[in-house]
Amino acid sequence: MTDVLLGHYGYWFVFVLMVLGFYGMVVKRNLVKKLIGMNIFQVAIIMFYLSSAVKWTATIPIADPALGTADTALYISPLQHCLMLTAIVVGVATSGVAYALLITIYKRYGTLHEDELLERMKNDLDLE
Amino acid sequence: MTWIWNNSPALPVVLLLPTAIAIPLFALIDRRLARALALAVSLTTAGLGVLNLAKVLAYGPVHYHLGGWPPPIGIEYVLDELSAFVLLVINTIAFLVLVHAKTPVERELPDAGKHVPYYAVAVLMLCGFNGIVVTGDFFNLYVWLEIASLSLYGLIAVGARKAPVAAFRYLILGTIGACFYLLGLGFLFTMTGTLNMADLKAILPAVAQEPAVAVGLGLIAAGMGLKMALFPLHGWLPDSYTYAPSASSALIAPLGTKVGAYVLVRVLFFIFGVGAATRAFPLTTLIGWLGAAGILYGSILAMAQRELKRMLAYSSIAQVGYIGLGIGLANPLGLIGAVLHVMNHAAMKALLFLVAGNFRTVLGHSDIGRFDGSVRRRMPWTTAAFAVGALSMIGIPPLAGFFSKWYLALGAVARGQWIFLAVVLVSSLLNAVYFFRVIERLYLAKSEAGENAPGTDAPPSMLVPVLVLAAALVGLGLFNAVIVNGVLERIVNAALF
Amino acid sequence: MFGAVLVLAGMSLPDRGDPRARLHRDPSAAGTPNAPSYYIRSPERDADTPNMVTVILADYRGFDTMGEETVILTAGLICFLILRRERSKEKRS
Amino acid sequence: MMRRDDDVIIGLVARTASPFIMIFALYVIFHGHYSPGGGFQGGTMLAAALILVRLAAGDDLAQLQFPRAWGTPLGSAGVLIYWGTGFVAMLCGGNFLDYAFLPLAGAAPHRRNLGILFIEVGVGLAVCGILTAIYDDLLEGRPRD
């Protein structure tokens, strides 16, 4: 049992972060806080990928002539790092669009609090 | 010519992308060019869809190594019957909707400067959908999924006053779905070490009994359920479809949910196989029950709606429930029903939303309460098309909608799920109720306005696609046997049960 | 919903072995060459660039990176699309 | 934003620092083969340099450095460069992004090396252009200071 607990400590940190992010996203009423929760959730997943790419006593995946590339144990697996570049970019793009949306919402309704927003939307019923 | 033939799987995405980029650049010269470019490229992709389907039917699954690297190393495009079929459906429907989009875009997007980016984002969305359907690599699928979803958020957000709020809610839920997919993929990748679908299928037996694989599959299914708006995860759908401009809702409704359904079918039936998927947790039966609940929920709520587009949105939830039910049955007939319903529902929903667009453009509103006889006289063709679409949704035999319900019913009988069979039949009645309510108002209600109501039917650019879709519904219904035997049989025997 | 994620975090205790020294995954691919180990051995030979990450990013999985570019482009176009109206309205007011 | 008088110092520092950040960003882009770095990281640093000037030295001055109208076109140009290399490889017989078929001199690995270089440049340009364009768009509603 200790092996499982010790061996996976990287993953537990990631799970705690994930639960925090998800909690923030679902429960918080303010729209900006929801967005921050979303970002935490995305970063947690990125950390999850990276923590699965680690090998003991391995260097960064730049092939330096001294070590040579014969033995794969010397370098950590580079694939996850590439994938996570894409995930980071996707996170940035989504947040960018989300903040643009928030600006237009704020400009039209003057509030970013979900409950007030719903009331204000109710009273201008028309679909326009 | 041979160059097109042997590069055909990658060509749809390879052509769509630069056109989406070129639209803002060319439009600096002339604004109308943006629309022409969008139409041209969606027509070529529709043509490529036909070519790809013919190629797959002739030679079986086609593999295309991007960047020249073999599968486990590089990314691979796999085009089998299922993806070629869905590809063709998506491109043809998108082309018809884009043809229709001329006046609604000008009418509902006041700022003339925004038409150009609107078409560019629409083409990017199409590029995203094509990318998802054709790819044979899980992570690549996530990248294209994200592109398609971002474009969806953008297309919805340009709508009415309340559109950004609906778009924001959709963004939050959509990103949760995408993150669940990524997390599930993370679990699977950590266990198997590969991202390629065929490769993963080979390694699965060695790893299948680990809880990580079950959790990974569950997460991917949850993510796709969110994208597909399966019953409990459909929160974003009603607002998004109603507040979006009618051109965008006509683009999103038929295509958006179908892609999520495609991925779910691909993962459950073609990678994991029903046996492996349900070992730790009866996933498919859960999806079946969620689908059934979705059908009832969607149909009942659709009856209560006063506004046509919102009613169609709730009926979309019901139709997605049908696909969920088909997947839940997990037998060949159920799968045929589900995949057939993907096509039928795409055509029907496109037709109904285009009709709603026509109503909003000509009459200025789409409230069911204010429909009456004068509408029928003013817009005879659109109302006739609406009648065809409604009848097909209910499932009247000659039309396409009937056959998918028929196969679902057969699947339910074969599986012995009497409750599912009852749900399919009851839902047809519910559909009948809320569609006849509208038809009755259109055809029978006396019109208060004068007999010769002013104004003519929608302009040709909006009317032609509607009529083409109505004719397509009838055609698909009649030639249903050809489609099923030709394409769907091969999909089913390729699936793992 | 939130409870479900908590259970997920707890339940998802897959015995994934010790992440810190877990090399067995690389050669153990059933039947197919394992991607991560190939990526380490061959970038030098294939594209004479020592930085494996760049090689994977641009060459082996170059299509993913093009997807990334499109994601950024979509985000740029959408911000352009959403916020454009404010600009012209401002000119008018 | 800060009052007019006390941002002279910050403005000056930003304006002087920005070119150096850009040079280092270009180094990161082009040196991606041998040291950690590459298109994305370099592109974001370029964007950071531009945004630093916009933040510190006020918007009107920043327009001289990188006018608002250039943002999205530059981004599209970057992606087109990327797509172009892929399409050229496709025209020359290979699959979509197969650099071995690029019509360049040298052995296959060397051609791949150059192919990756084109990609890095395309990515860097695209990221820089788009991020600055997003910053400008987000800034839209604010009255000019």
Provide the residue-wise pLDDT of chain B in tens; the chain has 497 residues: 677 777 777 777 777 888 888 887 777 777 777 777 778 887 888 888 888 888 877 777 778 777 777 777 778 888 878 888 888 888 888 888 888 777 777 776 666 667 778 888 888 888 888 888 888 888 888 999 999 999 988 888 887 777 888 888 888 888 888 988 888 888 888 777 777 777 777 777 777 667 777 778 888 888 888 888 877 777 777 778 887 877 788 888 888 888 888 888 888 877 776 666 666 667 777 888 888 888 888 888 888 877 788 888 888 888 888 888 888 877 778 888 888 888 888 888 888 888 888 877 777 666 776 776 677 777 777 788 888 888 888 877 777 777 778 888 888 888 777 777 888 888 888 888 888 887 777 777 666 554 444 556 667 777 777 788 778 877 877 777 777 777 777 777 777 66
- Using CA atoms, how far residue B316 sits from B67, B211, B323, in Å, is 39, 34, 11
Radius of gyration, alpha carbons of chain C: 23
End-to-end CA distance of chain A: 62
Contacts 24+ apart (CB under 8 A), A65-68: A65/C50
Taking the Cβ of residue D116 and every Cβ of chain B, the question of whether any pair is shorter than 8 Å is answered with: no
Closest CA to B122 of B154, B78, B163: B154
pLDDT (tens digit, 9 = 90+) per residue, C53-78? 777 777 777 888 888 888 988 888 88
CA distance B361 to B358: 5
Tokens 């190393």, residue located:
B73
Q: Which of C6, C81, C82 to mutate to test the interface with B (most CBs of B within 10 A)?
A: C81
B286 CB-contact burial (10 Å; exposed 0-12 / middle 13-18 / buried 19+): middle
| Torsion sign over Cα A80, A84, A86, A87 | positive
Which chains lie within 8 Å of chain A at 3 or more CB pairs, if any?
Answer: B, C, D
Partners of residue B182 in chain A, C-beta under 8 Å: 45, 87
Locate the domains of chain D by residue range: 7-138
Which chains lie within 8 Å of chain B at 3 or more CB pairs, if any?
Answer: A, C, D
Q: Which helix (H) or strand (E) holds C29?
A: none
Residue of D nearest to A89 (CA): D40
Q: Which residue in the set B17, B25, B65 is minimally distant from D95, CB to CB?
A: B65
B16: its two tokens: 């769509």
Q: Could you please report the per-residue DSSP string of chain A?
A: -HHHHHHTHHHHHHHHHHHHHHHHHHH--BHHHHHHHHHHHHHHHHHHHHHTT--TT-B-SB--TTT-SS-GGGB--SHHHHHHHHHHHHHHHHHHHHHHHHHHHHHHHS--BHHHHHHHHHHS----
A56 found inside a domain: yes
DSSP alpha helix (H) spans, chain D: 7-30, 39-57, 59-65, 71-91, 108-138
Closest CA to B473 of B347, B337, B343: B347
Q: Which residue in the set B74, B213, B219 is minimally distant from C61, CB to CB?
A: B74
Q: What is the pTM of this model?
A: 0.88
CA distance B78 to B131: 11
Q: Could you please report the per-residue DSSP string of B225-291?
A: HHHHT-GGG-TTHHHHHHHS-HHHHHHHHHHHHHHHHHHHHIIIIIIIHHHHHTTTS-HHHHHHHHH
Closest CA to B385 of B450, B464, B309: B464
Q: Which residue in the set D73, D95, D99 is minimally distant from B25, CB to CB?
A: D73
Helix (H, G, I), strand (E, B) or coil at B64: strand
CA distance B199 to B138: 11
Find out whether A121 and B162 touch, Cβ atoms under 8 Å.
yes
Provide the pLDDT for residue B4. Answer: 72
B232: its two tokens: 């409990």
Interface of A with D (CB under 8 A): 60, 62, 85, 89, 96, 99-100, 103, 107
Give the distance from residue B276's alpha carbon to the nearest chain A alpha carbon, in angstroms: 24
End-to-end CA distance of chain C: 46
Exposure string over B40-77, b if 16+ CB within 10 A, otherwise e: ebbebbbebbebbbebbeeeebbebbbbbbebbbbbbb
Provide the pLDDT for residue C39. Answer: 67
The β-bridge relationship of strands B76-79 and B62-65 is: antiparallel
Partners of residue B147 in chain C, C-beta under 8 Å: 67, 70-71, 74
Partners of residue D124 in chain A, C-beta under 8 Å: none
Taking the Cβ of residue D115 and every Cβ of chain C, the question of whether any pair is shorter than 8 Å is answered with: yes
> How many structural domains does chain A have?
1
Neighbours of B380 (CB within 10 A): 11
Provide the pLDDT for residue C36. Answer: 65
Task: Verify whether the Cβ–Cβ distance C58 to D116 is below 8 Å.
Answer: yes
User: Interface pTM (ipTM) of the complex?
Assistant: 0.86
Give the CATH number for residue A21.
Answer: 1.10.287.3510
Find out whether B154 and C77 touch, Cβ atoms under 8 Å.
yes
B208: its two tokens: 């299948």
Q: Which of B129, B141, B146, B147 to mutate to test the interface with C (most CBs of C within 10 A)?
A: B147
- Mention every residue, 6+ apart, whose C-beta is less than 8 A from residue B402: B392, B395, B396, B477
Instruction: Put residue B391 in one of left, alpha, beta given phi > 0 → left and psi -120 to 50 → alpha.
Output: alpha
Residue of B nearest to C42 (CA): B73
Partners of residue C38 in chain B, C-beta under 8 Å: 72-73
Partners of residue D88 in chain C, C-beta under 8 Å: none
Give the distance from residue A66's alpha carbon to the nearest chain B alpha carbon, in angstroms: 26
Residue of B nearest to C26 (CA): B193
Exposure string over D78-96, b if 16+ CB within 10 A, otherwise e: bbbbbbebbbbbbeeebbb
A77 found inside a domain: yes
Backbone angles phi, psi at B443, to 5 degrees: -95, -35
A108 found inside a domain: yes
At A3, the pLDDT band (50, 70, 90 cuts) reads low
Instruction: Put residue C14 in one of left, alpha, beta given phi > 0 → left and psi -120 to 50 → alpha.
Output: beta
- Mention every residue, 6+ apart, whose C-beta is less than 8 A from residue A39: A21, A91, A95
CA distance D100 to D94: 8
Closest CA to B210 of C13, A15, C31: C13
Provide the pLDDT for residue B283. Answer: 75
